[in-house]
Amino acid sequence: ALSSKQAAEMVEVCKQNNVLLAVNYIHRFHPHVLKAKELINNQTIGKLVSVSLNFNIDFPPGNNFRFNKALSGGGALRDLGTHMIDLIRFIGGNIKEINGYIDNVVYQSEVEDFSAGVIKFEKGGYGIFNVSYNNKKAFNRIEILGDKGAISIEKLIGVKTLPSKLTIDLEGEAKKSFRKRGNKLIYLLRSVQKSFLKGETPLITGKDGLINLQLMEQLEEKCRTGKN
């Protein structure tokens, strides 16, 4: 879906026809993200203070469809930012407010190459993200702060020679780090298959996709009107 209106129609049609709908927000299924979620739910790092996400990739314009608004619907926010909004919601809970920016920092085109957002959670605490098409180092990282410790995930997109790393830093304890290889797509497909076979609600639903698009559109509108 390129809009929340289209997403809402998809959700409603599936509901009327008793069809389970899952969305490919693949980063939820990263083993380290699932572990971080478990640690937060168990209050391992105490009260959640903030969730920070960086997801930066180099996508030069050229013939890249991402820079064709008619094909992509938008730039870095729609392509990468919606994944970060979903991750922030998954980790920190429902979102009360979103503000931020979209801009062309390096590549001048009809869609933005950079976006940043600041989010306030309904239960307290904040989320921050930035995404871009203009970073040649392909930097991606998650930092989760609580009042009793912190969790970091480096290389949300890992490589065979250097898998993603989860680090837990608790008050009064030595840091603990773990590396794990894992294909998020395989984890996603297994999870969705299991949900469909058992008739259970998927970990990522059509409603989640709709909410993410609504939040993204709120941010786009605030940037367009200058009402941040």
Q: What is the mean pLDDT of residues 65-74?
A: 82
Among 66, 220, 73, residue whose Cα is nearest residue 132: 66
191 pLDDT more than 60? yes
**Domains parsed from the chain with CATH numbers:** 24-204+211-225 (3.30.360.10)
The lowest-confidence range among 5-9, 11-15, 24-28, 171-175 is: 171-175
As a whole-number percent, the residues of the chain with pLDDT over 90 amount to 59
The 3-class SS string of 95-154 reads EEEEEEEEECCCCCCCCCCEEEEEEEECCCCEEEEEEECECCCCCEEEEEEECCEEEEEE
Residue 209 has pLDDT above 90, yes or no: yes
- What pLDDT shows up at residue 182? 66
pLDDT at 80: 92
pLDDT band at 159 (very low <50, low <70, confident <90, very high): low
Q: Which of 69-73, 141-145, 156-160, 186-190 has the highest mean pLDDT?
A: 141-145
Nearest Cα to 101, choosing from 129, 63, 138? 129
Can you say how many angstroms the Cα of residue 220 is from the centroid of all Cα atoms in its chain? Answer: 16
Average confidence score pLDDT of the chain = 90
* Bridge partner list, 58: 134
List phi, psi (to 5°) of 227: -100, 30
**What's the confidence (pLDDT) of residue 179?**
80
What pairing do the DSSP bridges indicate for beta strands 114-121 and 126-132? antiparallel
Write out pLDDT tens, residues 89-134.
999 999 999 999 999 999 888 889 999 999 999 999 999 999 999 8
For every residue of 40-90, DSSP letters joined together read: HHTTTT-SEEEEEEEEE-B--STT-GGG-HHHHSSSHIIIIIHHHHHHHHH
Element (H, E) at 9: helix 4-16
Q: At 152, is the pLDDT very low, low, confident or very high (cuts 50, 70, 90)? A: very high
pLDDT-derived band at 156 (thresholds 50, 70, 90) equals confident
Q: What is the pLDDT of residues 160-177, one digit of tens each?
A: 556 788 999 998 888 898
For residue 37, what pLDDT band results from cuts at 50, 70 and 90?
A: very high
Three-state SS for 175? Answer: coil
pTM across the whole model: 0.90
Q: What's the chain's Rg over C-alpha atoms?
A: 18
Q: What is the residue type of 150?
A: A
- What pLDDT is recorded for position 78? 92
